[in-house]
Amino acid sequence: MKAVCIEKPWSVHVKEVERVEPNYEESVIKVHAAGICGSDLGAFRGTNNIVSYPRIIGHEIAGEVISVGTKNPNNIKVGDRVVIDPYTYCGHCYPCSLGKTNCCRNIKVRGVHIDGGMSEYFTHYTDMLIKIPEGLEWERAALAEPLTIALHAIHRLKLQKGEHIVVFGAGTIGLLVAMASLAYEAIPIIVDIVDERLDLARSLGVPYTINPKRDNTEQKVVEFTNGAYAECACEASGASPSIRSSFDVVCHAGRVAFTGYPKGETTLPTDIITKKELDVLGTRNSKGCFQEALELIASRKVDVEKIITKVVPVDEAPETLKDIEKNPGNYLKVVVKF
């Protein structure tokens, strides 16, 4: 079968590989769509130190079940259309004992620590397959995984209707956080240094945008909230100035979530955390969010189609990945179609 494989940093190809034989806990899926993610780019650049090589990438996978193992707690059937939960976990470490399998100490993410699903067929645990609503197209279904990342951040923040949330970074995750916030009837304020991205955010219904190259972020948030500051902030850029700014834009007793990965060490103003008694939350992967994500996508309460830049056939995936690396500003989500 064909698979998109990163042999080593800066070397990506479509190659012919053997299909993986499933065991009793696993199913085989005929893949129809696979999203290209920022982490696939990190694997290509060699900047993600948890990736080992060679690696078949892809963790945003939608496809059709063609065989099912005997251990099948969710009654998955041949012919079911599914997406995959790619975060495999050990089940016996401390985070797993709390049900926080998204931050399992021994986590193995598909396409990162172990082979992913950007291939014609994919073998994965049957209990980590989620059926997709009838009529939902493969391309949109593949965006369930990135939407779960946004939803997990929102759940960590306990975002409520009517609250303001400042979202730093108008990339795929930041825009999905903003769109999901709108579905929660909260009020997103998005911060990015690229005007085109802010225009796009507004076209998605985001009422307030800030370009920190032009405006003072804190002052703008004060203006947009009538002096009250935001109840929540979600940092989805990983840029140091945004990380710093996230503490300034929230109100006393506010909540701040960090989903972006900074490139280096960052200094934190713990005096502000204490003075405002902030809840500062890490947020990583997702846990139990796939069903909600699929419903939001199918109903178009979160219209993920608007952030799909391009759909490409598998043979064009390597060149597309290289182009995304060279011109990241030209792309949001790219979906590889099989």
Rule CB under 5 A: which residues touch Zn ion? Answer: 37, 89-90, 93, 96, 104
143/183 with CB nearer Zn ion? 143
Residue 174 or 254 with smaller CB distance to Zn ion = 174
Alpha helices (H) along the chain: 38-45, 94-97, 138-141, 144-157, 172-183, 195-203, 217-224, 240-249, 270-276, 290-298, 317-326
- Of 109 and 190, nearer to Zn ion (C-beta) is 109
- Least Å from the CB of residue 18 to Zn ion: 25
Cβ of residue 254: shortest distance to Zn ion, in angstroms? 28
Write the burial class of residue 306 (CB in 10 Å: 0-12 exposed, 13-18 middle, 19+ buried).
Answer: middle
Which of 227, 225, 168 is closest to 198 using CA atoms?
168
Residue 107 or 278: the one with the smaller Cβ distance to Zn ion is 107
At closest approach, how far in Å is the CB of 107 from Zn ion?
Answer: 7
Instruction: Give me the least distance between CB of 62 and Zn ion, in Å please.
Output: 13
Q: Which is nearer to Zn ion, 96 or 302 (CB)?
A: 96
Strand ranges inside 69-163, DSSP E: 81-84, 87-88, 108-109, 121-125, 129-131
- CA 100 to CA 155: how far, in whole Å? 13
Instruction: Enter the tokens of residue 268.
Output: 């934190």
Q: How far is the CB of 153 from Zn ion (least distance, A)?
A: 13
Residue pair 308/333 in contact (Cβ under 8 Å)? The answer is: yes
